């Protein structure tokens, strides 16, 4: 049974999702100046200036958030991420996370899911947000100031405690920032840097904390992030993990690794409830979609 205090959140998200699925005219009429200014910037000014436009929006759960247009257009216009998989993941967050939970958000970008998690777990919970991109981490850090329970870290998360190469892309393509440039469309040229890297097991051992839930979105490096959980597994700690799945080699390796460690694969349904996903290897093709979020439970 969903608690009464969570029902308004699902209703607000449903309303934003309905608007996202409506016509362009409906979205224009919803907030005409915001819609026209964002579209004009993306198609006219950004190609000329090559610089982001820092703007504020209000999330569906009532928390202000900064975005860097033209990235985060859906957040700026509707207050939520509007891909079907992200809508279902947000509903799962609402149903699953409880007051006082500890959460890790690996690949937090501007911090949408970190802010949602912080709103749900309350001041007695804790959120560790990891975002290595320079510009995206700056936005995350600013957004995280709303909640004292969020720690924003500019760290790579993977298999080693040390350093690792990282590729960062222009604002419009900042969600492709990655340690795995082979997972990025060929026409994109990223800027290579070297950043500090950490394993999740050693990070949380140092924190003397155990996350109940981990969300991972790292553009093909999911397998490396999950390998960094081995120390937790050896201690009998098995957090619930949500991972973006695009069907590439890194994602498939990640799923296989979790299966080998006793996890089962689930997918949030339209209501945010978990449904078993036995045929995960053909999941995207069967549904004619480009991505989804898998949830692993042991």
- pLDDT band with cut points at 50, 70 and 90 for residue 171: confident
- Residue 11: is it exposed, middle or buried by C-beta count within 10 angstroms (0-12/13-18/19+)? exposed
Contact 100, 125 (CB under 8 A): yes
At residue 169, the pLDDT reads 87
Match domain 4-297 to its CATH number in 3.30.470.20, 3.40.50.150, 2.40.420.20, 3.40.30.10. 3.40.50.150
Give the tens place of pLDDT for each residue, 91-135. Answer: 999 999 999 999 999 999 999 999 999 999 999 999 999 999 999
Rounded percentage of the chain residues whose pLDDT exceeds 90: 86
**In the chain, domain spans:** 4-297
Q: Is the per-residue pLDDT at 298 higher than 90?
A: yes
Stated pTM of the model: 0.95
Q: What's the farthest any 2 CA atoms get from each other in the chain?
A: 55
Q: Is the per-residue pLDDT at 220 higher than 90?
A: no
Contact 200, 157 (CB under 8 A): yes
- pLDDT band with cut points at 50, 70 and 90 for residue 74: very high
At residue 76, the pLDDT reads 97
């Amino acid at each position: 049974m969903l608690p009464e205090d969570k029902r308004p959140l699902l209703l607000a998200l449903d309303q934003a999702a309905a608007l996202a699925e409506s016509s362009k005219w409906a979205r224009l009429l919803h907030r005409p100046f915001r819609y026209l200014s964002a579209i004009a910037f993306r198609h006219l000014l950004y190609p000329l200036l090559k610089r982001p436009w820092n703007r504020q929006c209000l999330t569906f759960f009532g928390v202000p958030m900064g975005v860097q247009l033209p990235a985060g257009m859906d957040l700026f216009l509707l207050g939520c991420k509007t891909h079907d998989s992200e809508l279902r993941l947000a509903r799962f967050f609402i149903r699953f996370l409880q007051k006082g939970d500890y959460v890790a958000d690996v690949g937090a970008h501007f911090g949408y899911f970190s802010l949602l998690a912080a709103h749900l777990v309350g001041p007695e919970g804790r959120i560790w947000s990891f975002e290595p991109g320079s510009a995206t981490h700056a936005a995350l850090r600013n957004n995280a100031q709303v909640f004292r329970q969020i720690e924003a870290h500019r760290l790579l998360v993977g298999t080693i405690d040390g350093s690792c190469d990282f590729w960062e892309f222009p604002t419009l393509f900042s969600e492709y920032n990655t340690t795995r440039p082979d997972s990025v469309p060929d026409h994109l040229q990223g800027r290579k840097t070297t950043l500090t890297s950490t394993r999740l097991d050693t990070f949380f051992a140092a924190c003397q904390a155990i996350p109940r839930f981990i969300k991972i979105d790292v553009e093909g490096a999911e397998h490396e992030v999950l390998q960094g959980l081995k120390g937790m597994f050896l201690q009998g700690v098995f957090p619930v993990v949500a991972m973006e799945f695009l069907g590439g080699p890194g994602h498939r390796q990640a799923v296989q690794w979790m299966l080998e460690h006793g996890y089962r694969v689930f997918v949030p349904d339209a209501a945010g409830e978990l449904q078993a996903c036995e045929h995960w290897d053909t999941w995207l093709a069967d549904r004619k979609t480009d991505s989804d979020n898998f949830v692993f439970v042991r």
